[in-house]
Structure 1
Amino acid sequence: MKRPPSVSVMLVLGVLVLAAVLGTQSVHAQQGGFFEPEPEPATEGTPPENALDKSDLEFFLRHLYVMNPGIDVEITDYKPSSIDGLMEVTFKATQGNRAQQRSYFISKDGRSIIEGRSYEITKNPFHENLDKLSNLGRPAFGKEGAPVVIAVFSDFQCPYCAKEAKVLRTQVAQDYPDNVRVYFHDYPLKRHKWAYQAAVAGQCIQQLDPQAFWTYHDWIFENQRSITEQNLDDKVGEFASAHGLDTLKLSPCIERQETKPGVDESIRLGRDLGVRSTPTMYVNGRRLTGNVRWAQIKQVIDYEIAYQKVTRNAGDDCGCQVELDIPGQE
């Protein structure tokens, strides 16, 4: 049988038929919900009948994940999915500073819910992240044009970020001098009192001297425990003087927060990508969260190097291709 030119591969994590609620009830009650809340089951209303009705879908999913009324729910508009016969919708649950979201496919008769993701076999499985992810102008180290790109969303006050940063700064240069390029993206968390201002200072230093940014990056993570909201500006000033930076240019940039738009744009990008914690890194679009061991990162990098030799659908765009003007041709 001849294959069609474009094949969609669907990974079904769980097919939930509305008529089988009783069969899944005990399993999900044991697993807990989105945030393992204390449940407050509904005692009024009518049974859900149509997953294409947002109220019915919310009612069903709140029961499925044992979600109490204190968890806010947002359901996106239904849209046609990449799979014939299925609609797609995103369900987002929020409680305080914590949030999770999941995608579902709904049959057009509204009777079946499929939890999972669909992939098109002719595209990079992480192409949606790659399409969103812009590294233009971001601090970087490693070889331009490398087949593997690691985009790191980090917070200068985050202790796990400090550990991950040290691993990347040492191991990438040592093990992959020609095959990996690392980009840094600011993602200061609100609960960290001095992280945002440290990000502003870092981008000011980046503008002044791109190489000095990485010196600042390593220094602030190494001295993280001695920095406070009150002494940050003095500490950064001491760093700048010790490393020969032009403080007459740097100080006004930091004081006026001239790089605030750049920090805010980095945060917005992270949110668009679904970053919820730090560190979060994207290895050729593949998301890795938390303090990931180097052995795991290395395994992903090795796989990506081999994969890109065949597909060439990710990696660093170094801008190395230059079109020269040829006399006599327009």
Structure 2
Amino acid sequence: MQLFASLRNTLFAIVFIGITSPLLHAQSTTEEVPAAPSAPAAAPRPTGPPQFPPVDPANFTVDTPSKDTVNAFLHEFWGYDPDRVWQIQAIQKTAAPGISKVTVLAAQKTSPQIGTLQFFTTPDGQHLISSEVMPFGARPFDAAHKLLLAEANGPSRGAASKNLLLVEFADFQCPHCKAAQPTVQRLLQDFPNAHYVFENLPLTSIHTEAMKAALYSTCVAKLYGNDAFFKFADLVFQNQEGLTPQTSDTTLNEAATKAGADGAKVGSCTLTPEAKASVEASIKLAQSLNVNETPTLFINGRGVPMGGAPYETLQKIVAFQEKEDK
């Protein structure tokens, strides 16, 4: 089992931790006990549908959020997985005025193991709080979707229509971003009606050449268009090991030239205030969306961390979100 660093990743996860909260009124479950060390082989993992404990009305001490709202929210996050089942176990009043505590039990249909998700909702009903603040409600992704439609202006490809909008925030020096590019390509092949936008998010605190690469990419796109940008981007990711303080200028210049650009013109462009402002606008957009890791892919406003995500899961989420937003 894997512990996830944030609620966003927990909501995205397929497998849950087999623990339930001790704070629920008159509710408890037992964790699986591993086989004794002396046993010749571990006992087979139990199979079969999960058995949720009875819901105790005493665990519902507040009217907001309603069960319907929580169910709608969870449907938006988990509806892509037809094997995911859940039960709202508690919606409780807290000592903070207007702050409610929500507890949900969740499992897969074919596994008896039950996991727990807990979070707090704000008085306005628009956000939840766990290890981070996230949007909440029956349509939790709409605000981010609207913002991206208005401000995601990076290099793009795919369908002209933005009915299915995929926006990736990436860093050219990030190894996970390099590894994610075949996944992006595959998604665009499987969803030819998707409109894809690339947004720079250079993580300058850990990647010394990321800002320089972002500026180069911005200038290639500005001077030579989207096709040249994506050729340039592919070349930079392919030669990512060349993004060092000693070799990055050569690596980026060669990538620009091979993409059909004039390396000298691109290099001059990177020194302009306009190029810097363009990258800073992309960074600001990421900050507005609380993006804290690369690569992150937004699917009609739904942010999904791509590092290590199975392609089949991403494919299901894109298909689900496309259907939900028709």
RMSD over aligned CA atoms reads 3.0
Report if aligned partners of 1:135, 1:183 keep a CA contact under 8 Å in 2: no
1:279-318 to 2 correspondences below 5 Å: 279-291=295-307, 292-308=309-325, 312=326
Aligned to 1:51: 96
1:1-330 to 2 correspondences below 5 Å: 9-10=69-70, 15=91, 17-18=93-94, 50-52=95-97, 81-82=124-125, 100-102=131-133, 118-120=136-138, 124-133=139-148, 134-169=150-185, 171-177=186-192, 179-189=193-203, 190-210=205-225, 211-256=227-272, 258-291=274-307, 292-308=309-325, 312=326
Alpha-carbon distance in structure 1 between the residues aligned to 2:202 and 2:258 = 25
Report if aligned partners of 1:253, 1:259 keep a CA contact under 8 Å in 2: yes
Return the TM-score normalized by structure 1: 0.59
Question: For residues 69-101 of structure 1, what are the alpha-carbon distances to aligned partners after superposition, in whole Å with 9 as ceiling and x for unaligned?
Answer: xxxxxxxxx98514xxxxx88769xxxxxxx52
Give the counterpart letter for 2:124 in structure 1: S
Give the counterpart letter for 1:199 in structure 2: A
Report if aligned partners of 1:151, 1:281 keep a CA contact under 8 Å in 2: yes
Q: How many residues align?
A: 219
Aligned to 1:65: none
Question: For residues 148-196 of structure 1, what are the alpha-carbon distances to aligned partners after superposition, in whole Å with 9 as ceiling and x for unaligned?
Answer: 2111111111111111122212x1343222x211111111112111111
Gaps of 5+ in 1: 1-6, 19-49, 58-77, 83-87, 93-99, 104-116, 313-330
Report if aligned partners of 1:206, 1:213 keep a CA contact under 8 Å in 2: yes
Aligned to 1:106: none
Alpha-carbon distance in structure 2 between the residues aligned to 1:13 and 1:81 = 22
Alpha-carbon distance in structure 1 between the residues aligned to 2:310 and 2:68 = 33
Deviation at 1:297, TM superposition (A): 1.3
The answer to which structure, 1 or 2, has the higher relative contact order (CA under 8 A, 6+ apart) is 1
Identity percentage over the alignment? 26
Q: Which has the larger radius of gyration?
A: 1
Report if aligned partners of 1:277, 1:290 keep a CA contact under 8 Å in 2: no
Deviation at 1:51, TM superposition (A): 1.9
Return the TM-score normalized by structure 2: 0.59
